[in-house]
Structure 1
Amino acid sequence: MDKPRHTRYQAVFISPHLDDAVFSCGGVISKLVEEGPVLVLNLFTRYLSGLKLHGAVLGDERHQEEADAAEFLGFESVSLHELDAPFRRDAYQRLGNLFRPPVAQDMEWLSTLREKLFALLGELDFEQIYVPLGIGWHVDHVLAHLVFEPWIDRKKLLFYEDAPYCCIPHSTRYRLNGIAHYEGGLADLSLAPSNALNAWRQAARAYGQTALMKNLQPWIVRQLAVPAVSIYLYRLMARYRNQVTMVPELTLEPLVVQIADRLGKKIDAMALYSSQFNEFFASRQDCVATLQAYADRVQGIAEAAAIERYWVPVTTSSRIDRYELPV
């Protein structure tokens, strides 16, 4: 396990993998580094051998991508060097299982991961800590969320929306339904109720337009994959559609941060993770369009400014105005 260079940070970002913090929070990271040191703490960053699993590159070259992005944005990167899911459990070598609940061995191991992570965090002082919501249900993202139950000091805690999963329509709403009560604006189309069939159609259409699907070759494979993935997505959404939150004491409020002035820099940083960027986005223009569509849904207006959305735990003694993110 790497050791942080400082003892005090403006913010700590918990990143399931090398790239998740920048893809999800690159705009805010680029702002916070101007106020003080920022630490990105990556959890699942060890690979037993080079492997490309259904489009996802899992190999040590990703550490250089992380180093390049860290230098570019100015944050410090530290890794716990836990095994990435497909290397950790045989079950996760099947793509479908990566987006199902963690297997029993992982849930039994979670306390060990928590002890290791909290021991490191216990040696640090920080103003804020950012934790993934687990949107998209990737098992490593879900575990990165679960490790903070019970959560450390909620006065410092914010949850971020996992990108690019949050760019799929209804993905945030389906995830939030299972973990918390939440408050959102009436104009927020990303949280607006929708019947199951329409929600699935919109999500499947958006997923079918991702580079992950368009990159499939040859043509016949791509044509067969689209309906297969759509059916899988329907079943995945059905699994979580009627899920009732098991933590009713957790209420979240959205905090939308405008990053239009940082969008170019964020995308430049994202592109440094070439093994991932090229799988999720056909081009830089495609990335801009995807993030723009996400901002449009969140703010309910066409061509809304680029944004990142965070979720703040609310208690009777704390409200959202205690968070003063840079603007």
Structure 2
Amino acid sequence: MNEFDFETLYAIGLNHGMASQWFTQAEAQTSSLMRVTEVQRDWLQVHDGHVEHAARVMPALVAQLHNAGSGLAVGDWVGVKAHAHEEWWVHSQLTPQSHLARRANDGRRQPLASNVDTAFLVMGLDHDFNLRRLERYLALVQAAGVMGVVVLTKADIGHDVDARMAELHERLPRNVPAYAVNALAPETLAELVPWLGRGQTLVLLGSSGVGKSTLTNTLSNSIAQQTGGLRKGDGRGRHTTTARSLHFCPAGACIIDTPGLRTWRPDADVDSLAATFDDIEALAQFCHFRDCQHGDEPGCAVRGVVPADRLLNYQKLLREVRRSQQTPLERKAQLAKWKVIGKAGKQRNQEKRRGNL
């Protein structure tokens, strides 16, 4: 049996639940447990608690994950063996306790990060400020069982910082922590230290140029991530991060930096997503109709109480979740249905025009 040092692996995010799962695997007798710290197209970086190793994934595991509609992500715990010439190969994956992913246009799941405790939802207090997008990100991380913490960067150069913070607190649930920080300032580490404890794993999510890499460098007290200057014209940061990677913070936490998210299509079910809008779900119980869509139905207890923009955001997310859960045949049938409806509407309009001639 390979040597197993819980304390060493705990320092890079292992917990007792994942350790127990590892000892139920047959691989535990012949493999070493390591954590994925970077994912590239043909290889991975894995960490054993002491040093990193470059590794490749066994074709059998690639096929298994592909058939399950998934893949390895930064933060995964994997079983690794050294083959001939000291080449490291990943043979198995432990089932993640939490997993963040998004859906591609073709319905495939694109992994973002695994075994995450906290998600820092990073947004700039400049032209990037968008409460609807922030609310969307918060709903999706909570649906995955991950705690969301809002981190608004560029507090030193942002616009209407106090007004925007007040707007944020009015829009989001009060139990969601929110901070306005200067990602370059050393004090930021002290402000966010409650989320940086030893053994904790957090991921930074946000669009390009909001300062995720700068924040990673500040929290990890390093210059591990390349950063870019501000663009002329709109003052936004330049896109620099091209791959997800895991870094270590002096306070003990593991930090996963990610490339900017242009869009994030939901990878969640309807029930878990609805639970993140608990204010809407609570009010919906008092609607006159059980299947109320909170549109123009009489006796709706939600419409007029919940801000209209929040309600629209919720309804849009639900539509996207239902669409992502459809099989190819169901999507094809729905497309055919709307084609028939569109054709019928066009025909009625033509008949009306003829009647007016």
* TM-score relative to the length of structure 1: 0.26
Q: Which has the higher contact order (CA 8 A, sep 6+)?
A: 1
Say which one has the larger Rg: 2
TM-score (norm 2): 0.25
